[in-house]
């Protein structure tokens, strides 16, 4: 029985090593959080322009290294209270020799540090804050390897990218639909305007027709009671009224033709990008109609 309990195997040794690595990573993360906390304290206390000099002379950090540690504190430690024994910035100068006891794994847990190691924390910094906390809640980080976490993060980023792309495509489609609806509304208004104008011209035509009818009746009455000269004058008035009615009709047809031509040109331009060959066919037909057909008809 004692032999079974003390037997050492490669699997057992690997398990112990991985546990030590995990514990060491957690302690390293807790230390990084506390260093980041103190770096932020120091940066707030230092005069403007002294930050980089202080980093190099006092703690041998580059600005890039310090920024990374402060980001780790902002992401994982900003809600924590400083551990017991921490040096308060009000208690002494930044370069004082005050000592801080090493952070053990038990202290890490008591301080409420996140349940992940330093390497995992760095990987998760590349994820948006909302996604980061969601991943930390969903994934069993203690049992995951670095490669598995990298894969999970990449998959989450891929899903987010596909979602954003779908939203973008949906927004573009919505805009296309809105533009088309706006164009349809505009064309409908133009159509209604033409219809109203046509009805107005129709009413004017009816009025002119009534005038002509009245003039005809007057002319018929005048024929019996006036001289040939008076009758001729009435005939001229009748011709004037008739020509005016014809002119109004021609003006209406001309305006309708111009408007329809504009609509036709607009639709052809819209069609050109999608069906260039068909566009060329109809363009040639229209040009032929405008040059040859109209010349023969008029």
Return the sign of the alpha-carbon dihedral for residues 278, 284, 290, 292: negative
Which strand (E) or helix (H) includes residue 118?
A: helix 118-125
Q: Given this model, what pLDDT does residue 30 score?
A: 92
Q: Given this model, what pLDDT does residue 250 score?
A: 83
Burial of 93 (0-12, 13-18, 19+ CB in 10 A): exposed
Helix-, strand-, coil-residue percentages of the chain, each rounded to 5: 80, 0, 20
Per-residue pLDDT tens listing for the chain (298 residues): 444 457 889 899 988 888 888 888 889 899 999 999 999 999 999 999 999 999 999 999 999 999 999 999 998 886 554 444 444 433 343 444 444 444 444 444 444 445 788 888 888 888 888 888 888 888 877 778 888 888 888 888 888 788 888 898 888 888 888 888 888 888 988 898 898 888 888 888 888 888 898 888 877 776 666 666 655 666 677 778 788 888 888 888 888 888 888 888 888 777 777 788 888 888 888 888 778 766 676 6
Rounded distance between C-alpha atoms, residue 245 and residue 206, angstroms: 9
Q: Given this model, what pLDDT does residue 293 score?
A: 67
Residue 52 makes CB contacts below 8 A (sequence gap 6+) with 63
Q: Given this model, what pLDDT does residue 232 score?
A: 66
Rounded distance between C-alpha atoms, residue 258 and residue 254, angstroms: 6
Q: Given this model, what pLDDT does residue 297 score?
A: 66
Confirm whether pTM is higher than 0.75: no
Tokens linked to 19: 């546990």
CA atoms within 13 A on the CB side of 188: 6
Q: Is 49:1 a contact under the CB 8 Å cutoff? A: no
Q: Given this model, what pLDDT does residue 196 score?
A: 87
Longest CA–CA span in the chain (Å) reads 150
Rounded distance between C-alpha atoms, residue 222 and residue 213, angstroms: 14
Among candidate residues 232, 46, 25, 39, the one with its CA nearest the CA of residue 142: 25
């Amino acid at each position: 029985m004692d032999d079974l309990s003390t037997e050492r195997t490669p699997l057992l040794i690997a398990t112990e090593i991985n546990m030590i690595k995990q514990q060491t990573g957690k302690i390293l993360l807790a230390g990084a959080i506390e260093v980041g906390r103190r770096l932020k304290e120091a940066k707030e206390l230092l005069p403007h322009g002294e930050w980089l000099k202080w980093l190099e002379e006092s703690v041998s950090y580059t600005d890039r290294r310090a920024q990374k540690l402060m980001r780790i504190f902002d992401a994982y430690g900003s809600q924590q209270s400083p551990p017991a024994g921490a040096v308060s910035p009000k208690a002494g100068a930044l370069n004082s020799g005050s000592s801080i006891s090493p952070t053990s794994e038990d202290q890490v847990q008591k301080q409420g540090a996140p349940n992940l190691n330093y390497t995992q924390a760095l990987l998760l910094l590349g994820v948006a804050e909302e996604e980061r906390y969601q991943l930390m809640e969903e994934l069993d980080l203690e049992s995951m390897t670095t490669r598995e976490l990298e894969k999970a993060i990449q998959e989450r980023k891929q899903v987010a990218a596909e979602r954003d792309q779908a939203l973008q495509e949906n927004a573009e489609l919505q805009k296309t639909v809105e533009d088309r609806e706006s164009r349809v509304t505009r064309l409908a208004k133009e159509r209604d305007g033409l219809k109203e104008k046509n009805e107005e011209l129709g009413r004017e035509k009816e009025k002119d027709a009534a005038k002509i009818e009245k003039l005809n009746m007057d002319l018929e009455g005048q024929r019996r009671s006036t001289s040939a000269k008076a009758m001729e004058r009435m005939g001229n008035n009748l011709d004037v009224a008739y020509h005016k009615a014809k002119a109004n009709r021609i003006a209406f047809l001309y305006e309708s033709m111009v408007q329809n031509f504009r609509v036709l040109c607009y639709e052809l331009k819209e069609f050109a990008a999608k069906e260039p060959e068909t566009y060329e066919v109809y363009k040639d037909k229209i040009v032929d109609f405008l040059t040859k057909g109209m010349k023969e008809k008029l």
